[in-house]
Structure 1
Amino acid sequence: MLPAGLRAAPAATDPALTRLAADPYWIALGHYETGKLGGWRSYVDDPRFFLSKDGDHDPAAELAATLEALKAPASLGDRHAQCVYPARTRWLRERLDLRDLPRPACAEFDRWYADIAPHSTVLVFPAAYLNSPSSMFGHTLLRIDQADIDSHNTAMLSYALNFGAFIEGMDNSILYAWKGLMGGYPGLFALVPYSEKLSEYSRLENRDLWEYRLNLTPEETGRMVEHVWELKQIRFDYYFFDENCSFRLLELLEIARPGVELTRHFPITAIPTDTVRAVGDAGLVERIDYRPSREKELQARDAPLEPGEQAWVLRLADDASALDDPAFAALPAPRRALIQDAAFRLLRYRSSSAERDSARSLRSYRLLQAINRNPPPPLQVARPDLPEDGHESRTWQLGAGSRDGEAYAEYGLRMAYHDLQDNLSGFPLGAQIEIAQLKLRQYEDNHWQLQRLDLATIRSLTPRSALLKPWSWQVGGGLERVPGRHGDETLVSHISGGAGASWLLGNDTLAFALATARLEHNGDFTPFVAAAAGFNGGVLWRNRLGNLGLEARGDYFNTGEARRTLSLNQQWELSRNLGLRLSANRTFTHFSEPLNDISLELKWYHY
């Protein structure tokens, strides 16, 4: 940054300068937004970014300070404002026809820019990964390509432009999630080799990658990269739901192409899939490429294998000497080719996050030799639905129902994102992430009550197979109504979770069984907090109408109370962003006779 003595004080009272400071492009360069009480505030939370002491809230003062600093002696070299702020310099020189500015030598910037050699831009979306709190909604980054990307296939030499939370130390998942929600981490931009990011996302985390080639010109890509230099080591506050990776990249795209409006669509939350959709709607996408994860590739190779052949895959992955077994050699060559390739992929999948091991490397080498002698047919991985083709992330709900003969209307809002019965296109079967869901009921006598307030409910029902044995799990917490002692409903607070397994029964049916635990504060219980052990099992069926779920769950409390529920939910997918859901529940409890609740709910997915 500039020496303190060269930071100019705001002295801009010229109306023309004031109008220029209100130009949308200058506002974008300073990352300004309209303040809650009027005026301006910058998203940048680092005073080193500003040349004026009032620059974080006064665009005109920052503009005046920048113009003054651009006239500093060229002898400052790399410390000169023109070297520190190349994007500002370019824009002001063009807008004000500044031909007589000093010409400092910007050696550091020139070397950095020449190394990146920006020519075109790709928006990369690593798909959602439920087993990581920071990745459960997916992620976005930009790939900056050189001019020979297509002719020489140099994507692995490109750079990845990423914005993310800067974490010092080893915070656990709960602390990470809390600090991410509350802005407890600073956010930084980083340019790293794309090959590193590709390894991290598609291999270490087994995430599919979607690459959206943008139609930005070389000049637009270069303009954006110049601004990235201005943000080098500059800190922003980082929030999971709004000021996150996706929102920051939208700001950069607004720098690249003046006039495109992307961030205004996200005043409250910026879910990555919604931001990808916004980029497409703005006409910025030229082409879409899909890179399946190692897990998807392994599943595709495993699909045509018989159970006996899968047993050979497991044996070869553990002991490559089984290649010499006469029983294996007796198999038809085409089947051996498939088995060997599946074993090699299984071995790579297992080693994704493991330390390098010489015995594993030797097994891989022997399998590769066998594959080279008897190659399998090319692997074909079916491309799933585009992530942005799924429903939008916020959901408004309007329902009507009856609880033991008492009619009610129900009104709901969910800030994000998807449950097991929601419209499925663009989402995996068995994945649920719900954040901040509110439901209010209005009964016949105009009695209103809070029915539930879920802070978060996450379910990852990943099916097991002969080759892959993932755990299924769920966690949730918030407020909900449960049957009370006198036939009414009691509002309780709870934290619950569970773990178990899931299995595919055909292509469209998923069965699951989990052991669960629950902590509950209930006014009908003597202890302040009661603990329960229980179960949760059921079936999800993807049918022609939509999604059907049958579930049974039970909680057995240390107070002696036992609460069990049978539920059926069928969603009709009326359109991409409209669903109709029939729900029926029967609850058994020691406090009362069995209770029946049936409802019909219209769900409107609208950001």
Structure 2
Amino acid sequence: MLADTLQKSGFLAAFFCLLLGTFTARADEMPALTVTALQEKARLLKLAEHPTWLSLLHISGGKARILDPNFQLGEPGIGAQATLEQTLALLYGAEAESAVCRFPARQLWLARQLGMPRRPLAHCSALEEFRQRAPLETASLVFASENLSQPSSMMGHLLLKISGRDAQQRPLAHAISFFTDTATANLPKLFYESLLVGKRGYYTLSPYSEPVARYLAGEQRNIWEYQLALDEPSRELIQLHLHELRQTELTYFFDSYNCATLVNFIVSLAHPTLREPRGGWLTPLDVIKEAKAAGAIASTHVQPASRWLVRSLNEQLPSAARDEVQRAVHQSQPPASSAEATPNGFFALELARAYNRYLYEQGQRTHASWQAYEQQLGALRERSHTGKTLDAGEYKQPTATPPDAQFSVGWREQGEDGVVELRLLPASHRLEDDNRQYFSENALRLFELALQQGLRDGKLRLGALTVYGVESLIPYDSFTQGWSGRFELGWLPQNQADLRSRAKPAVHGGLGLSRRIAADVDLYALAGASAAYADKGAYLSLEPELGLIVREIGGMKSLLRYRYHSRASGQNIGLHSWQATQFLPIDQRNALVFDYRYKRRPGLARRELSLHFKRYF
């Protein structure tokens, strides 16, 4: 074995490895040569390439995601090997007493890998205070559903919940969150800063009850908790690493270092295969899906927002029963049907409880009146529905949504012209996609690019570049109301005088109402407008829209839309546009999309057909 070592690494490396084995177990008695020997042994073991070491440094795709030189121990790009050697020099050199407090997780992991004794941490007052304040016996991924009004949470928000008992055996739960400031109406500036130069990131530790109250009551967003499968060594390593991050300056990048990527690095300390996610843009749902596929999820628990619960229970009851519940709640009386020991009686009771809580959270009911009515309904529940529980976890499953990125290729016929069209959507989904696991029919398109190759002239054109596009068609109901709307910003298809479409700088918007006229049929109407730039300058156009969405068997979906354009291409010419889209899923990652459009203005009409193959990834 010694001969092999000499052949592979040379006499000097073998000498240091042998020298390392003669050191005593007392860390404070190690001679100065220990650092050099440890560095050499780390090279032999290739620790700088170990997935856990790369997770500790938040490196993925060969790039360090934390830019703080005090964390990487050098300028960004210094590399995992150089940071490893610098870390060993600190942990086992003259500054060891302070270094072990700065990098306790690195010290723990390196000691395990190198067979070295662990240095004591009792003198690290900030670390000890953190461990006592935020014990970690269990850890959970927490997903707050999408909030389309907040740019940083358009795809949901992911945080880490850590729970345990303190020295007095009191249960404690805390949230580890990472976010940035998005309080601006200047979307171009926001995207520029968060995508190219980075924004200041805020890494916070707070009582878990605070984000729960904000998401559930304040923003009416559902919360899913996914408890992680962790052994004791992993729990200790994660807790120490959380403290390392508290001392680090973090820069937030919307696409490459956000709440999802930071939490994913933390989880990968226990499950190393998760460090390098598949695809490009890692979203909160991607983290949960990958963790589930890797067997890292031990259990799941959902906390539904009252608005979501009201809507889901509404779907379980006939119209007359819903009206009865609403009247009863406003009169603070139990619904008559809720006393019946039947499924509908139980649903009526739970709807009354959810609506009562929703009114309180919206400031329409005092705490005293909410509590008194809740006690009244609780007593009825004990009498008539003992042992029954409402499991909201199976109603909607975020992990069952399609992947958050897609690519499509297809053919589009535009009268006598034809084009081959390539479309890339790095995040997140279109209206025709399978939205059954979302709160409502919706779309979110970030930096969607469409390129068209002409079949006759061979020219390559920009079909569209949607910097930011969102649609939310929330069905209106008498309990919680609900507005629908759409907004698009980018180089968007604009109808020319000849009814051909060309990408032009534009902003589209609309606001209106949607109604669920049947279980799988939504009807909507939006009062819309657009501002665009054409050859003769900027112009405004009114664009009201009517639409019908039908969800069909096997995940198929049909969309019918009508839109009127008051000024096509900036001219005082009214244009009518009809569109029919058919979505045909092949499997979970592939689909076909057929689209037919008919446009008409005085003296001219045009038909367009297209067929696209779509791949989710």
2:371 pairs with 1:365: yes
Which residue of the partner structure matches residue 26 of structure 2? none
Q: Offset at 1:243?
A: 1.0
Q: Residue 157 of structure 1 aligns to which amino acid in structure 2? A: L
TM-score by length of 1: 0.83
Indicate if the aligned counterparts of 2:122 and 2:128 stay in contact, CA closer than 8 A. no
Query: Where does 1:188-337 land on structure 2 (aligned, <5 Å)?
Result: 188-257=202-271, 260-266=272-278, 268-303=280-315, 307=319, 310-311=322-323, 313-315=325-327, 317-318=329-330, 320=332, 323=333, 333-334=339-340
* C-alpha deviation, 1:430, in angstroms: 1.3
Residue of structure 1 in register with 2:173 after alignment: 158
- DSSP 3-state at the match of 2:200: strand
Conservation of the 8 A alpha-carbon contact between 1:412 and 1:440: yes
Give the match's secondary structure for 1:231: helix
Q: 2:401 aligned with 1:401, yes or no?
A: no
Equivalent residues of 1:584, 1:599 under 8 A apart: yes
Which of 355, 358, 364 in structure 2 is aligned with 1:349? Answer: 358
Deviation at 1:394, TM superposition (A): 1.9
Specify the alignment match of 1:539 in structure 2.
Answer: 548
Structure 1 Cα separation of the partners of residues 548 and 463 of structure 2: 26
Task: Kindly indicate whether the alpha-carbon contact (under 8 Å) linking 1:86 and 1:227 is maintained by their aligned counterparts in 2.
Answer: yes
| Map of 1:38 onto structure 2 | none
**Contact kept? 1:17, 1:60, Cα under 8 Å:** no
- Asked if 1:380 is matched to 2:390, the reply is yes
Structure 2 CA distance for partners of 1:305 and 1:400, relative to 1, 3 Å? closer
After TM superposition, give the deviation of residue 46 of structure 1 in Å.
Answer: 2.5
Q: Secondary structure at the match of 1:146?
A: strand
Q: Name the CA distance, whole Å, in 2 between partners of 1:189 and 1:113.
A: 17
Output the aligned Cα RMSD: 3.4
Cα distance between partner residues in 2 of 1:102 and 1:604: 53
Cα shift at 1:536: 1.1
What is the CA-CA distance between 1:107 and the residue it aligns to? 3.4
Report the Cα distance in structure 2 between the residues aligned to 1:364 and 1:66, rounded to whole angstroms. Answer: 56
Equivalent in the alignment of 1:444: 455
Aligned residue among 161, 176, 186 for 2:200: 186
Tell me the alpha carbon deviations over residues 170-224 of structure 1, each in whole angstroms, 9 at most, x when there is no partner.
Answer: 5347465664444542223322222222222233222222222222112212211
The offset of 1:308, in angstroms, is: 5.5
Q: Which moved more, 1:471-480 or 1:115-124?
A: 115-124
Q: Distance in 2 between matches of 1:269 and 1:332?
A: 47
Q: Distance in 2 between matches of 1:171 and 1:598?
A: 40
- Quick check: 1:189–1:228 contact (8 Å CA) kept in 2? no
CA displacement at 1:385 relative to structure 2: 4.6
Gaps of 5+ in 2: 1-31
Structure 2 counterpart of 1:66, which letter? T
Task: Report if aligned partners of 1:214, 1:285 keep a CA contact under 8 Å in 2.
Answer: yes
**1:508 corresponds to:** 520
Task: Determine the C-alpha separation between the residues in 2 that align with 1:271 and 1:455.
Answer: 17
Distance, in Å, in 2 between the alignment partners of 1:547 and 1:236 is 43
Question: 2:553 is paired with a residue of what secondary structure?
Answer: coil
Seen in structure 2, the aligned counterparts of structure 1 residues 180 and 87 have a Cα distance that, compared at 3 Å, is same
Sort the Cα spacing of 1:139 and 1:286 in 2 relative to 1 into closer, same or farther, 3 A: same
1:32 corresponds to 2:56:
no
Determine helix, strand or coil for the equivalent of 2:209. Answer: helix
Does 2:80 match 1:62? no
TM-score of the two chains, using structure 2 as the length reference: 0.82
| AA aligned opposite 2:112 | E
1:98-117 mapped onto 2 (5 Å cutoff): 98-99=116-117, 105-117=123-135
CA contact (8 A) 1:453 1:479 kept: yes
Could you tell me which residue of structure 2 aligns to residue 5 of structure 1?
none
Residues 1:82 and 1:516: Cα distance change in structure 2 (over 3 Å): same
- Distance, in Å, in 2 between the alignment partners of 1:336 and 1:426 is 26
Shift of 1:34: 6.0
1:518 and 1:555 in contact (8 A); partners too: no
Q: Are residue 49 (structure 1) and residue 71 (structure 2) matched?
A: yes
Cα distance, 1:47 vs. partner? 3.4
Output the amino acid matched with 1:536.
Answer: E
Out of 405, 422, 426, which is 2:433 matched to? Answer: 422
**Retained in 1: the 8 A contact 2:335–2:349?**
no
Q: Distance in 2 between matches of 1:34 and 1:341?
A: 48
Q: After the TM superposition, which of the residue ranges 179-188 and 384-393 deviates more from structure 2?
A: 179-188
Distance in structure 2 (CA, Å) of the matches to 1:301 and 1:102 = 55
2:160 is the counterpart of 1:118: no
Distance 1:329 1:604 in 2: 49
Q: How many residues align?
A: 566
User: Which ranges in structure 1 are unaligned for 5 or more consecutive residues?
Assistant: 1-7, 36-40
Distance in 1 between residues matched to 2:112 and 2:528, nearest whole Å: 64
Query: How many Å apart are 1:72 and its aligned residue?
Result: 6.2
Measured in 2, the distance between the counterparts of 1:371 and 1:384 equals 23
The answer to whether the Cα contact below 8 Å between 1:54 and 1:61 also exists between their aligned partners in 2 is no
Match of 1:96 among 79, 100, 114: 114
Q: Which deviates the most, 539-548 or 132-141?
A: 132-141
Q: Distance in 1 between matches of 2:579 and 2:253?
A: 36
- For 1:329 and 1:548, the matched residues in 2 are separated by 38
Residue number in structure 1 paired with 2:403: 392
Looking at structure 1, the residues matched to 284 and 118 of structure 2 have their Cα atoms a distance apart, in angstroms, of: 44
The worse-fitting range, judged by mean Cα deviation, of 444-453 and 237-246 is: 444-453
Distance 1:114 1:182, change over 3 A: same
Alpha carbons of structure 1 residues 95 and 440: separation in structure 2 relative to 1, 3 Å? closer
Q: 2 CA distance for matches of 1:124 and 1:498?
A: 33
Q: Kindly state the Cα deviation for residue 398 of structure 1 after the two structures are TM-superposed.
A: 1.7
Amino acid in structure 2 at the alignment position of 1:220: S
CA distance in 2: counterparts of 1:332 and 1:462, whole angstroms: 27
Question: For residues 330 and 491 of structure 1, what CA distance do their matches in structure 2 show?
Answer: 58
Deviations 1:400-457 (A, max 9, x none): 2322243433222221221121134534541111122222233332423322222222
Q: How far is the alpha carbon of 1:517 from its aligned partner?
A: 1.1
